[in-house]
Amino acid sequence: MKKVNILAAPFVQEMMKTTANLYRLGWDERNGGNISYRLDEKWVQPFLDTTNVIREIPMIFDASILAGKYFIVTGSGKYFKNVKDDPEANLGIVRVQENGKTLDLLWGLSDNAVPTSELPAHFMSHIARLSVDPDNRIIMHNHATHLLAMSFTHDLSEKALTRTLWQMCTECLVVFPEGVSIIPWLVPGTNEIGEATAAKMLETRLVLWPQHGIYGAGRDMDEVFGLIETAEKAAQVYTYVCAQGGVKQTITDDNLWLLADAFGVTPHADYLDERV
């Protein structure tokens, strides 16, 4: 059967638009940031002959839990700025082999490119999120500016950081009631940072990498993008609040409880004072 041009695929279009948006926001300078998006086989089949493997790509960790699954990923060393003009060079569609150690490349990553250097953190995070939410599809990493800045100036306890973000914009508690997790500073691209990130992803969809950036997880592009931009907006407000001389009044814990009730969300246990 004749295949439809892959550039018309909704998931390719979403990757093109999202990387352009993220670049425009200034969170993905140079080759900063990466996205992996789990696809169903039936989404891919109208566009690609899935028996036609272009090349095999080895991995440095075991992703056998993801065997047979398809992902569209950003390429290692590739610039988000360039994705829209040349998706085939900057993106790739891969399938995890049964051995969990090799990827089948089905499209893209032309000129011998490979998937994002953060593939361990992405795949380990997919495994963690799928274990708590079978509908999770996307892991996104970027260098959201104000969140990154806050990792220098703010107390790095998860409770303290989460509370500050919840207090900076009324919608934050509703958007990420489970809070934000934080890992130690670790070398990017390693299995170690992948394991640390994935362990946190069991509890929260947002994980801060101090002095580096943010990881987000979601069921679709709007969820994960919305999650990161809401936290980033709160971090930006915090930056202005500090520049304006600091907090004089804030959203109280009682207010946050009212919000949780109104929107039917459960705040992370122990992050709020007891209701009065």
Which positions make up the binding site for Zn(2+)?
A: 141, 143, 212
Pick between residue 168 and residue 207 the one whose CB is nearest to ligand 2HA. 207
Residue 91 CB, nearest approach to Zn ion (Å): 17
> Does the protein bind ligand 2HA through residue 33 (CB under 6 A)?
yes
- Binding part of the chain for ligand 2HA, among 12-20, 29-37, 48-56, 60-68 by CB under 6 A, reads 29-37
Q: What is the dihedral of CA 59, 63, 67, 68, to 10 degrees?
A: -50
**Helix and strand counts by DSSP (H, E) for the chain:** 11, 9
Among 19, 97, 116, 136, the residue binding ligand 2HA under the rule CB under 6 A is 116
Please, what is the angle between helix 221-243 and helix 145-153, to 10°?
50
Cα distances from 3 to residues 6, 8, 47, 48, in angstroms, run 8, 11, 5, 6
**Minimal CA–CA distance to 93: which of 147, 52, 33?**
52
Among the listed residues 14, 118, 223, 232, the single catalytic one is 118
Provide the annotated binding site.
141, 143, 212
Pick between residue 148 and residue 165 the one whose CB is nearest to ligand 2HA. 148
Pick out residues in 169-228 that bind Zn ion (CB under 5 A): 213
Cα distances from 144 to residues 186, 210, 216, in angstroms, run 18, 11, 11
Interface residue list for Zn ion (CB under 5 A): 213
Interface residue list for ligand 2HA (CB under 6 A): 31-34, 116-118, 141, 188
